[in-house]
Structure 1
Amino acid sequence: MTDADAADLAQRVREGDLRLYELEDHADADTAAAARRHLLAEETGTDLGAVGDYAFDAADAESNVENMIGAAQVPMGVVGPLPVDGGAASGEHHLPLATTEGALLASVNRGVSTIRNAGGATARVLKSGMTRAPVFKVEDVAAAGEVSAWVREHVDDLAEAAESTTSHGELQDVTPYVVGDNVFLRFDYDTKDAMGMNMATIATEAACEVVEAETPADLVALSGNLCSDKKPAAINAVEGRGRTVAADVLVPHEQVEERLDTTTEAIVEANTRKNLVGSAKAGALGFNAHAANVVAAAFLALGQDIAQVVEGSNAITTVDAREDGLYASVTIASLEVGTVGGGTKLPTQAEALDVLGYAGGGDPAGSNADALAEVIAAAALAGELSLLAALSSRHLSSAHAELGR
């Protein structure tokens, strides 16, 4: 279709003949997006040329966004090579990161260089499971106890129902939680290489039908917030959600001084007083310097669910002075990532995953998402080292000033 077609569609929306969400029923996806831009430009006086200059077919994004007008472009850079010895990740990695925060990639890359010269980072996925926790109402506490007991004895029956909805997901466990006449059931799934939130939701709905049929519980909401998705929650910090992943490195003392312009002792003190004591005083769930910076930049670049950066900030950084060097680790309790589905199929995100080397499904299933989690954890470790070094040497503000950020 032509610009005239887009203008005509926009006019039909103004006249009330069509609604914004109906445009794809009357035109191809790119023309529908152009019509919305035309409408917005006329109503707001805004030039949307940059928003409309995108490199993918709008039809390919129909499962990712509604009422599309174009695309938001975020600068993307790369850090690396980052050597990672993981349970799934192996070798050197170039990690694309998208951000608007100047100095971030420079800082992370300084940490990457330090890790590389120390022989690389070790990383492991310690636990994997996507959760969904519906809430049911019951008559009283006695009924709540009855439901909880039945669920504990019939996990296999719930698994049969849940897994009938998917060819990939596997139900690992169901944990009941009771609050008065409320029963929460926290379902935990192995979702392989998918982040798996939609998979877990659909599977849980099928299992809930069994619970309602076999117990006195009535479903109130398919999500009861005990999951807990896209919200700060201690249960995710303790029990994990998505991937629980850790990375560590041992940096010789002389390299700390040469590459980070500080000392092991200074970094240890900064970590203790800032990340541990300061975070405790603040009542924080994350005891780290800025792990969410790397998580967010990786999520934007690699097509992850950006709102789940909330859970990705559930990280604890530890630093210790050992005889042969500075030991540093980052453990992220709830890193929710996938290499299939969602935004991973969008062109720029797919290319970024290809750069990293973990696009699509892994062999065995789940190994690519595990590898992605391990690389992100190692990059977060690099970011922690660099920022702690800048703070302990009092170079943070000067670094931002030097880079003009």
Structure 2
Amino acid sequence: MPTPEELADRVRACELRLHELESHADADIAAAARRRLVAETADADLETIGEYTFEAAAAEPNVENMVGAVQVPLGVAGPVTIDGGALSGDRYLPLATTEGALVASVNRGCSVLEAAGGASARVTKTGMTRAPAFKTSGIVESEALAGWVRDNEDRLAAAAESTTNHGELTDVTPYVVGNNVYLRFRYDTKDAMGMNMATIATGEACELIEAETDASLVALSGNLCTDKKPAAINAIEGRGRSVTADVRIPEDVVEERLHTTPDAVAEINTRKNLVGSAKAGSLGFNAHVANVVAAMFLATGQDEAQVVEGANAITTAEVTADGDLYVSVSIASLEVGTVGGGTKLPTQAEGLDVLGVRGGGDPAGDNADGLAEAIATGALAGELSLLAALGSRHLSSAHADLGR
């Protein structure tokens, strides 16, 4: 087995490329060789990056040209009681972040949820999407293609599902723009986030469409999916999992724990999260849902770029007839999974263990639903805490007290 320095020498001599090192040594030696080369070129000390506890081979499906690992501090909020359709009981919420005061804020929100008897959460819609773009000769052919798709969904499902043991095609929706036709395929991907599954399955279905119609496939993704970009279609139709968490908090709990009133929280939510967001043209009508989504994504091995869609949430707050505070957070497009991708990495798998949702669920899909419910509950806690901090005018002082 060559040493890291010997491998690095071969790269310097142009005998090997960086991505070829695993063919000549194990993954850890290959990573060490790359660290040497990068440190030499950048005049940087990468010693800490090279200190990781898992075998580099475990990360081979998740990263290329590995040099080490970046460690993000992990905190927990809770425990908080979750009454979910898939997840029930007391749970600590794992949050990986470098933003000071975030975990403290979510933790405060969790304590208030707990004082109110816990939060309820439900997944209301499920479906990972992929939307290929087809070119036709014009509107007549475009309309014919849309009609063919509507009449042949069973054949498209058979083609798509031939590529997977778990995914199910639930529907295909055509969108026509002149001589462009976008077909939004939606799949039930069970406990997998399912983006790769949906892409491969849709590719097989597209071959059938080209064989049976005069349309030509231009791109397997036509951006109507919509993946990793802000999009109104995800806010309206959902993508991944649409999930809501809510709570009713007694008036005295709001006053004693949050040092504000139900009326103040409801007014701030309306003027800030609803009117302010509308004036800004925002696709997210919330205070900072992205904070919790990002932190729990990192902690549990999700695709962090999909925080873009995960922040697509609406927070509501109103005072009930008897003076209590009702708050909800509805996330339209939360793309999560508990199998595949980064969920197999050791620390991220342990993050899923904290929630009790690692691996495949029974029935299939339950664990990913449970993860979505936990994230929505964390987002609810974070929204409640921040709105209350604004209501009591403690936001800046809270950051100052924690030295941020």
Q: TM-score range by the shorter chain?
A: over 0.9
Alignment counterpart, residue 121 of structure 1, candidates 109, 119, 122? 119
User: 1:41 Cα shift?
Assistant: 1.3
Question: Would you say how many aligned residue pairs link Structure 1 and Structure 2?
Answer: 403
Distance 1:57 1:249 in 2: 43
State how 1:31-180 maps to structure 2 within 5 Å: 31-180=29-178
Cα distance, 1:11 vs structure 2: 1.4
Q: What's 1:206 paired with?
A: 204
- Deviating beyond 3 angstroms after TM superposition, the runs of 4 or more aligned structure 1 residues are none
Alpha-carbon distance in 1 for matches of 2:43, 2:333: 43
**Mapped partners of 2:390, 2:10: distance in 1:** 58
SS in 1 for 2:362: coil
- Following the alignment from structure 1 to structure 2, what is the Cα–Cα distance between the partners of residues 383 and 377? 10
Q: Give 1:195-234 correspondences, 5 Å limit.
A: 195-234=193-232
Q: Which residue identity is paired with 1:249?
A: V
**Per-residue CA distance 1:73-95 (angstroms, 9 max, x = gap):** 10000111111111111111111
In the superposition, the TM-score normalised over structure 1's length comes to: 0.99
User: For residue 332 of structure 2, what is the aligned residue in structure 1?
Assistant: 333
3-state SS of paired residue (2:224): coil
Equivalent of residue 269 in structure 1, options 256, 267, 270: 267
Q: Distance in 2 between matches of 1:316 and 1:77?
A: 25
| Letter aligned with residue 242 of structure 1 | G
* SS of match in other structure, 1:194: coil
In 1, Cα distance between equivalents of 2:269 and 2:39: 50
What are structure 2's unaligned runs of at least 5 residues? none
RMSD: 0.7
Counterpart of 2:74 in structure 1: which amino acid?
M
- Paired with 1:305 and 1:44, the residues of 2 have a C-alpha distance of 28
The code of the aligned residue for 1:345 comes to: K
Provide, for residues 307-330 of structure 1, a one-character-per-residue CA deviation record: whole Å limited to 9, x for no partner. 000000010000000114100000
Q: Which residue of 2 aligns with 1:278?
A: 276
Q: Which residue is 2:14 aligned to?
A: 16
Structure 2 distance, partners of 1:58, 1:400, is: 38
**Structure-2 separation of matches of 1:373 and 1:44:** 41
Q: CA deviation at 1:355?
A: 1.1
Corresponding residue number in structure 2 for 1:289: 287
Amino acid at match of 1:133: A
* 8 Å Cα contact 2:262-2:323 kept in structure 1: no
1:174-231: CA deviation from partner (whole Å, max 9, x where unpaired): 0000111111000000000000000000000000001101111100100000000000
Return the letter of the residue paired with 1:180: G
- CA positional deviation for 1:43: 1.3
**Share of identical aligned residues, percent?**
71
* Corresponding residue of 2:396: 397
Which amino acid letter does the alignment assign opposite residue 110 of structure 1?
A: R
* Secondary structure at the counterpart of residue 171 of structure 1: strand
Q: Amino acid of the residue matched to residue 195 of structure 1?
A: M
SS class of match (2:315): strand
Give the corresponding residue for 1:361.
360
Q: CA deviation at 1:127?
A: 0.2
The answer for the alignment partner of 1:258 in structure 2 is: 256
SS at match of 2:191: coil
Higher alpha-carbon deviation: 11-20 or 303-312:
11-20
Give the TM-score taking structure 2 as reference length: 0.99
